[in-house]
Amino acid sequence: MATEANSGVGTDNEVKNKLLFTPQEIDQIARFLVGNQRRERESLIIPRNFTPVVFKSREEKAVEAVFESCPFKAILSLFAGFVLGGGIGLFAASVTPSIPTPDKPQPSAREVLRELKVSTLSYGKNFAAIGFMFSGVECAIESYRGKTDWKNGTYAGAVTGGVLGLRAGVKAGVAGAFGFAVFSFVIDYYMRH
């Protein structure tokens, strides 16, 4: 007995009595702590460089897909173009001089408001058409190319300007395509730099 106590080795019963958990209990504890690995994890943050990346839920991805779709962008540009064009038309009609002459008397308030309405709607419709066409074409080109760069806006400007200019003839179509492409390039260059 003295040799066993000095060597530090005990009997099997003594070792079993010293254990807090049996191997089966440790296995059960591990299964409880690890849990089900198939559950969906939301808002999981994985650091990449110095900015964290947050994974999105299915609902967030669905809403994001709607907002990034070409039809949504085109319709949003349609409404924004109408509002912007309406504002410009209202301003343009308000600064148009109406100087009374002997043969043309001072216009009435009803005539002034009618002129404001016609100008506002005309500008609004034109800007809405241009915004709708440009945004839709740019989104389609971007989707086809799979890149987001200055070429998308330039190509979309050329197509939009060409289509709008073709109503007045081939020369006007070419001039419109060139002018709108250059304008789109300049605006895109300014916004990126």
pLDDT digits (tens, 9 = 90+) for 48-79: 666 666 677 888 889 999 998 999 999 999 99
> Is pLDDT of 95 > 90?
no
Between these two residues, 40 and 117, which has the higher pLDDT value?
117
CA 35, CA 10: separation in Å to the nearest integer? Answer: 37
CA 92, CA 119: separation in Å to the nearest integer? Answer: 8
DSSP for residue 1 = -
> Is pLDDT of 35 > 80?
no
Backbone φ and ψ of 149, nearest 5°: -150, -175
| pLDDT recorded at residue 57 | 82
- Secondary structure class of 57 (helix, strand, coil): coil
CA 182, CA 176: separation in Å to the nearest integer? Answer: 10
The region of weakest confidence among 11-25, 80-94, 98-112, 141-155 is: 11-25
Which pLDDT band, with edges at 50, 70 and 90, does 176 fall under? very high
DSSP assignment of 6-52: HHT---HHHHHHH-SS-HHHHHHHHHHHH--TTS---S-EEEETTEE
| pLDDT recorded at residue 1 | 45
pTM as predicted:
0.65
CA 10, CA 12: separation in Å to the nearest integer? Answer: 7
pLDDT tens digits, residue range 112-140? 888 889 999 999 999 999 999 999 999 99
Between these two residues, 13 and 117, which has the higher pLDDT value?
117
Are 9 and 1 in contact, with CB atoms under 8 Å apart?
no
- Which residues are CB-neighbours of 21 under 8 A, at least 6 positions away? 29
The residue-averaged pLDDT of 84-105 equals 84
- When the pLDDT of each residue in the chain is averaged and rounded to a whole number, the result is 83
Burial of 116 (0-12, 13-18, 19+ CB in 10 A): middle
